[in-house]
Amino acid sequence: MQSAIYVGLSSQLVLERRMETLARNVANMNTAGFRAEEVKFSTFLSKKGTDAVNFASLGENYVSRIPGGLDKTGNPLDVAVEGEGWFAINTPAGTVYTRDGRMKMTAQGELRTLLDHPVLDAGGAPMQLDPEGAAPAIARDGMIWQGDQQIGAIGLFSIDPAAKLQRHDNSGVIPDRPATAILDFINNGVRQGYVEGSNVNPIREMTKLIAVTRAFESAANAIDKGEKAVDGAIRTLAEG
C-alpha cells in the first residue's frame, strides 16, 4: 500500500516540474527567438519485494529546436535566421547563441543586441559598422554593406543536434559542445527586416497545462486514498 503512496508522490514531483516548464513557455510566447522547453520523462523500477514498482523520474529538460515564425518589421537592423543557424553574442557568461536577431548600432558603430551584448562575426570578433555610413544592407550570407562599402559579415553558427543546451536569459542558449561557423548558405541564411518569433503554441501549451493540472489532482487523490488505506489497516491490526 505504501508503494502506491510513493508512486503518487513521484508522479506529483514530475507533474510539478512539467507545470513549471509549461508556465515558463506560456510566459514567453511573445519573446523573440524563444524556444520552448520540453521534458523527457522515463520510469525506473524498484525491485524491493515480490513485485516491481514503477516510479516516474523527474525527467530531463531540453530546449526545442523547432523554429518560430518570421514577422516582418522593415527595420534594417532586424535579422531573422532561416534554417538551423544561430547568431553568436558576447556576454558576461561567455559566447551565447540566440535566434533573437533584433539589433542596434551604437554611436560608435558597434553592432549589439537590444540587451547590449556585442554581435559576433564568423571568427568570433565583435561587429563594427560605420556610424556615419549609409543604412546597412544585409545579404543572405550575413554580409553587411553600407553603400558600396563591405563592412563584414554577421556570424551564423551551427549547433550539434546532440548538444545539450543550457538556457541563458530568455532566448539565448549555451551548448555543451562547440558551435561551428556555417558556410552553406543554400539551406541556411538570414533575412533582413524580419524577426523570428517564439516557437510556443499558446493554445497547445494551455491545453497541456490543464491536462497536467488534472493529472496532479488525480495523483493527490490517489495519495489520499493510499493514506486512508494504510490508516485503516493499522486500526484493524490494533483492534485485533
pTM, rounded to two decimals? 0.79
How far, in Å, CA of 162 to CA of 183, rounded? 20
Domain range annotation of the chain: 2-64+200-239, 70-196
Cβ neighbours of 69 (radius 10 Å): 11
Q: Of 67-71, 75-79, 214-218, which range is least confident?
A: 214-218
Q: What's residue 170's pLDDT?
A: 83
Encode pLDDT of 91-107 as tens digits.
999 999 999 999 999 99
Q: Of 82-86, 172-176, 203-207, which range is least confident?
A: 203-207
Q: What's residue 46's pLDDT?
A: 44
Amino acid letter, residue 49:
G
Encode pLDDT of 104-122 as tens digits.
999 999 999 999 999 999 9
Residue 45: pLDDT above 50?
no
Contact call for residues 155 and 188 (beta carbons, < 8 A): no
Residue 152: pLDDT above 60?
yes
Mean pLDDT value across the chain:
84
How far, in Å, CA of 227 to CA of 235, rounded? 12
Q: What's residue 43's pLDDT?
A: 45
